[in-house]
Amino acid sequence: MQKLITPYAHSFGKPNVVIKHFPDSESYILIPQIKSLKNKPITIYHSLYPEPDKRIFELLLILSRVKKETKNISLFVPYLPYARQDRECKTGEAVSADVLCVLLKNFGVKKLTTYDCHFLPCPGNFKRSGLNIENKSAGKELVKYAKKYFGKNKFLVISPDEGASYFTENAQGHALKKTRKREEHGLETEVHKIEGEVDVEGKNICILDDIIATGGTIVKAVEHLKARGAKRIIVGATHGVFAKDGIAKKIINANTEQLFITNSILKNNLESFIHVVKLNTN
């Protein structure tokens, strides 16, 4: 299996795809070793966040060239953006999850491997809009880090909502329940409520979620658990989206002792107090 690695996926190997930008910001792609890919199985390693629109278009440019050489194309994208709008909640909404899957399939991707994909219920093999998807989970790696962090001290794993409950199942943990407010135009906004009674009095807690975007979910979950007597709280997530500056600080200020994410998203301005757990992609 040959690998094509873009500069945005440099933490998964040495880049061998050239991506540049013209003065007007349009993207330019060059795959110097393209001829050596003839009829070979290849895997493209790329990152689609931050700047998802641009990264997706660059991926389509790469695929457009690679599929002239080989039909056997796999794609590794650790964080799949546009996955949160996975159904038409309000009539007239576009379902971005399907659009992305259709695009990838039509551009020749035989299989996508990703991590903790928002629209999938658990790790495993799935198909959406004709695209084959292997959904892996960083749950084990995150729990391993929590074990190391707490050392001999016992802790409980808790997920803030049922969507992320599979994170806790293997760690004998618990899932809380979450509701969000919806604005008139349909965009999900701040987390309205976290509910769920778990005995956390005097216990150390590791909260695990798939994504931290605005941080609203995590902050509410920390407050909920603190109000019920939780002792030390650490927070881990697969994807550190951190949609705005200051979100990580907000989580730390809300009584979180440690914040850790994986290297699924590589941000240049990541705060130094955030610990990064490397995904084991083998």
- Contacts with ligand R5P by CB under 6 A lie at 160-161, 163-164, 191, 209-217
List, in sequence order, every residue forming a beta bridge with 237; answer none if it has no partner. Answer: 209, 261
Can you tell me which residue has the tokens 């540049």?
Answer: 20
Q: Is the dihedral of CA 199, 204, 208, 211 positive or negative?
A: positive
Minimum CB–partner distance for residue 202 and ligand R5P (Å): 26
In the bound state with ligand R5P, the residue whose beta carbon lies nearer, of 123 and 160, is 160
Structure tokens at 43: 């895997």
In the bound state with ligand R5P, the residue whose beta carbon lies nearer, of 128 and 178, is 178
In the bound state with ligand R5P, the residue whose beta carbon lies nearer, of 5 and 219, is 219
Q: Judge whether 260 and 243 are in contact, CB under 8 Å.
A: no
Helix (H) or strand (E) holding 65: helix 52-66
Separation between Cα atoms, residue 260 and residue 273, nearest integer Å: 9
Helix (H) or strand (E) holding 182: strand 177-182
149, amino acid identity: Y
Nearest to 82 by CA among 57, 108, 61, 63: 57
Nearest to 276 by CA among 232, 228, 239: 239
Structure tokens at 134: 């292997």
Minimum CB–partner distance for residue 20 and ligand R5P (Å): 33
Separation between Cα atoms, residue 167 and residue 178, nearest integer Å: 16
In the bound state with ligand R5P, the residue whose beta carbon lies nearer, of 240 and 258, is 240
Minimum CB–partner distance for residue 180 and ligand R5P (Å): 8
C-alpha 177, offset from chain centre: 20
Minimum CB–partner distance for residue 244 and ligand R5P (Å): 10
In the bound state with ligand R5P, the residue whose beta carbon lies nearer, of 135 and 214, is 214
In the bound state with ligand R5P, the residue whose beta carbon lies nearer, of 45 and 260, is 260
Minimum CB–partner distance for residue 52 and ligand R5P (Å): 15
Give the strand pairing for 274-277 and 258-262: parallel
In the bound state with ligand R5P, the residue whose beta carbon lies nearer, of 15 and 52, is 52
Minimum CB–partner distance for residue 29 and ligand R5P (Å): 31
Minimum CB–partner distance for residue 212 and ligand R5P (Å): 5
In the bound state with ligand R5P, the residue whose beta carbon lies nearer, of 42 and 95, is 95
Minimum CB–partner distance for residue 11 and ligand R5P (Å): 22
Residues 6 or more apart whose Cβ sits within 8 Å of residue 267: 50, 240, 242
